[in-house]
Amino acid sequence: MNPLSDDTRPAEFPPGFLWGAATASYQVEGAAFEDGRTASIWDTFSRLPGAVRNGDTGDVACDHYHRMPADVALLGELGFASYRFSIAWPRVRPDGGAPNPAGLAFYDRLVDELLAHDVLPWVTLYHWDLPQTLEDAGGWLNRDTVERYADYALTVHDALGDRVRHWTTFNEPWCSAFLGYTGGQHAPGRTEGVAGVVAAHHLLLAHGRAVTEIRSRAPEHQLGITLNLTVAEPYDAADPGDVAAATRVDQLWNRVFLDPLLRGKYDDGLAAHTEGMTWRGRTWQEFVVDGDLELIGAPLDFLGVNYYHGDAPSTRAASTGRDLLGSRVAHPERPTRSPFPGGDDLVFPRRGLPVTGLDWEVQPEGLHRLLVELDRDYDLPPVYVTENGAAYDDVLGVDETGAACVDDAERVAFFDAHLRAVRAALADGVDVRGYFAWSLIDNFEWAYGYEQRFGIVYCDFATQRRIPKASARYLARAAAANRLPDVG
Ligand code: PNW
């Protein structure tokens, strides 16, 4: 039986289940060079020919930096209990150097505004905007960046820790490490093979350093990390090559982070799948120093899980023609590589499932399975779904009263199906504590620029007008009732 259509389960979510919406600094703030902010790797990368669709940048984005009070008021009106946002490192410590009071003041105001609207601030310390100066010194391949990050994290904690209790060290370090240093699809756009694992180790170490420092200062605070995880199902379960491909993807996507974080060690399978690979003459293991894994394995108060799509790896290119990111990275001017070290043979054939605007397969049952398998395989802290959402081609319309509206029925159906998956995982005993929609508002969708809209609120980028979509109303009803609303 498909557990998602099993309507005998209660429609209610557990008492206290946290409903929220999420954004990230570079994607929404704009004001890229105001009040002392310096360049991040995304300011640089977005200016490289062919790196981002249409040459878009985050220079203006949703102009949230200037429109923050109205945006927070909208969150409050929609009735979300929490807002997940990230801090721009180059605003707070420009060039990775001394603290910048003007940059910190923005987040100080944001937190006060949220609390005034009864919205819980959920802070992500790093959502990909590394100061360019630190990248120039080696970025996440330079162990010294770990110390710079720990200093930065404490600067933010000192400034906001009297009002913020929930801290996420990193958002999706997989993207930073493997899209950034192996595949080249994301900033800094490097294609250096197993360097992705070296970057992953340093990101994990920075996480461990920050958790340990913040924990010693504020033992009552909730500390965690957000990973983008996948359920890698072999394209053809009867094909040994596809089964092996799925195992490899699981190692180089999920377990490279899960095992050190939750078991305090790297799995032998990771070594097996990176055997013989070196970066600048060294294996990734040579970057792991005694004591690192103790820091990385420090206890977590929560694990954030971002889930978007199902994936069915294969190595039979003839059946497919697509890489992991589908059509999204086909920039002729900027050749990219597989984000999986040694993975240029890996393909992700589509299985005939519906797809979103990014050509990502819609597979809500994958979220249920992912949560259940995590719970089965690891000693799991409480879980929050920190991102889930979909890009669709939204059409701006006019309702009966003449007001602008967006009837994003496909996105409503997407949220509804994935919330049913969360409910199924809860019924199976997984301790899921909350759900954040990605995203509060249409924004700068990384390599896709402004072409792809993930918002539950429409952003008219020409006028900066905000128009809540039907999906925002749907989620507002869910949040208000703490249960699945009727659709349609
Ligand atoms: C996440 N992939 O990015 C990020 O956390 C958000 O900032 C982003 O807007 C959202 O998902 C939608 O893309 C991802 O290649 C980027 O699998 C790429 C991948 C996954 C997540």
Q: Does the active-site annotation cover 387?
A: yes
Does 308 appear as a known binding residue? yes
Secondary structure (DSSP) of 429-473: T--EEEEEEE-SB----GGGTTSS---SEEEETTTTEEEE-HHHH
pLDDT per residue over 265-306, tens digit each?
Answer: 999 999 999 999 999 999 999 999 999 999 999 999 999 999
Q: How far apart are CA 123 and CA 152, in angstroms?
A: 14
Pocket of ligand 1 (CB under 6 A): 24, 27, 171-172, 175, 228, 306, 308, 325, 387, 438, 445, 454
pLDDT per residue over 214-232, tens digit each?
Answer: 999 999 999 999 999 999 9
Does 400 appear as a known binding residue? no
Mean pLDDT confidence for 179-205: 97
**What is the ipTM metric for this complex?**
0.95
The helix/strand/coil state of 122 is strand
Which residue's alpha carbon is nearest to atom 9 within ligand 1?
445
For ligand 1, what atom is nearest to the CA of residue 226? 5
Does 213 appear as a known binding residue? no
Which residue's alpha carbon is nearest to atom 14 within ligand 1?
175
Does 482 appear as a known binding residue? no
Q: How far is the CA of 131 from the centre of ligand 1 (A)?
A: 20
Catalytic-labelled residue, pool 113, 172, 233, 361: 172
Q: How far is the CA of 465 from the centre of ligand 1 (A)?
A: 24
Q: Does the active-site annotation cover 233?
A: no
Q: Is the peptide bond prior to 188 cis by the omega test (within 30 degrees of 0)?
A: yes
Q: Are 167 and 120 in contact (CB under 8 A)?
A: no
pLDDT per residue over 142-177, tens digit each?
Answer: 999 999 999 999 999 999 999 999 999 999 999 999
Which residue's alpha carbon is nearest to atom 12 within ligand 1?
445
One-letter amino acid of 125: L
**Cβ-proximal residues to 238 (8 Å cutoff; 6+ apart), any chain:** none
pTM listed for this prediction: 0.97
From residue 35, give the alpha-carbon distance in Å to each of 7, 30, 157: 53, 12, 20
